[in-house]
């Protein structure tokens, strides 16, 4: 037990994946790659913000059909996740460029990105079902939103402190060993499999954080930005695991006070009466 605690503490202070102890690319290549990441992420954020401004923050799926929801969901995930998964994506795509050329390189890159987004699309199906359920409950029972919010924060906090979060975060913070493993994946569709495999770990790392979009609102731009920062720092900062732990504790505190604080539940307010009205 003592050894496991020591190991966990050591991992919490481990070098960041893109830091001096674990850099994946030369500084010049890394700067160019990050510039490309910004060029892709900025339009995704612009589209997400534009849609959020038009739709506002409401309970449930906000009347969206599943195809439209998934389209917006994938756009949101691209905006939120791309910076934090960039070290792995950049390094893998760079390897593709060394081994392939022309259309082959393009197809392989699309396979990798497509596999990653495919996993987040599948998670979007679960998110849509959860939002539809909670939206229906809020519509039928005016006070249900308070307890749904409390449960959502509770589940998010417990997940942040749980073993699955730790395993997936460790994967995302130590990409080099996994990139070596990915190189051994057999063809065909190796790049698609790599994208799916890494995407699954990314979902496992961020699932708890996504749960709080139920009370905060799935189209809440401020919440999206805050979660994107947390995800980025968790994966790339040397003390990222400590932040994950601190965020988990904060979610547990919010679970206790959420039923009494309407401002914590913008995504569940709908027809929910105020505390004064109760």
User: What confidence tens digit (pLDDT) does each residue in 109-161 have?
Assistant: 788 888 889 999 999 999 999 999 988 888 777 788 889 999 999 999 999 99
State pTM to two decimals.
0.80
Q: How far apart are CA 128 and CA 213, in angstroms?
A: 11
Beta carbons of 156 and 216 less than 8 angstroms apart: no
Comparing 19-23, 222-226, 245-249, which segment has the lowest mean pLDDT?
19-23
Q: How far apart are CA 202 and CA 168, in angstroms?
A: 7
In the chain, the percentage of residues whose pLDDT exceeds 70 is 79
Beta carbons of 55 and 203 less than 8 angstroms apart: no
Q: How far apart are CA 175 and CA 181, in angstroms?
A: 10
Q: How far apart are CA 92 and CA 156, in angstroms?
A: 31
CB atoms near residue 161 (< 10 Å): 17
Quick one: tokens of 255?
């679970």
> Mind listing the pLDDT tens digit for each residue in 245-261?
999 999 999 999 988 88
Q: How far apart are CA 92 and CA 176, in angstroms?
A: 10
Q: How far apart are CA 178 and CA 184, in angstroms?
A: 10
């Amino acid at each position: 037990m003592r050894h496991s605690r020591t190991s966990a503490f050591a991992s919490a202070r481990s070098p960041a994946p893109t830091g001096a102890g674990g850099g994946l690319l030369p500084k010049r290549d890394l700067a160019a790659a990050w510039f490309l990441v910004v060029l892709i992420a900025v339009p995704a954020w612009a589209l997400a913000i534009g849609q959020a401004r038009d739709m506002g923050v409401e309970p449930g799926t906000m009347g969206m059909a599943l195809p439209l929801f998934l389209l917006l969901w994938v756009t949101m995930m691209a905006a939120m996740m791309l910076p934090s998964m960039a070290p792995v994506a950049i390094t893998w795509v760079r390897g593709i460029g060394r081994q392939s050329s022309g259309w082959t390189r393009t197809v392989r890159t699309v396979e990798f990105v497509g596999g990653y987004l495919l996993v987040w699309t599948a998670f979007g199906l679960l998110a849509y079902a959860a939002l539809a359920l909670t939206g229906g409950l809020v519509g039928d029972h005016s006070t249900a939103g308070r307890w749904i919010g409390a449960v959502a924060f509770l589940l998010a906090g417990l997940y942040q402190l749980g073993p699955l979060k730790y395993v997936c975060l460790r994967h995302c913070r130590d990409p080099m060993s996994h990139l070596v493993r990915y190189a051994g994946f057999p063809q065909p569709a190796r790049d698609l499999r790599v994208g799916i495999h890494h995407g699954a770990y990314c979902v496992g790392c961020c699932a708890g954080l996504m749960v709080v979009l139920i009370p905060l609102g799935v189209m809440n731009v401020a919440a999206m930005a805050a979660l994107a920062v947390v995800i980025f720092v968790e994966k790339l900062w040397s003390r990222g695991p400590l932040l994950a732990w601190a965020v988990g504790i904060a979610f547990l505190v919010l679970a206790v006070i959420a039923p009494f604080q309407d401002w914590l539940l913008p995504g569940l307010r709908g027809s929910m009466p105020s505390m004064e009205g109760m």
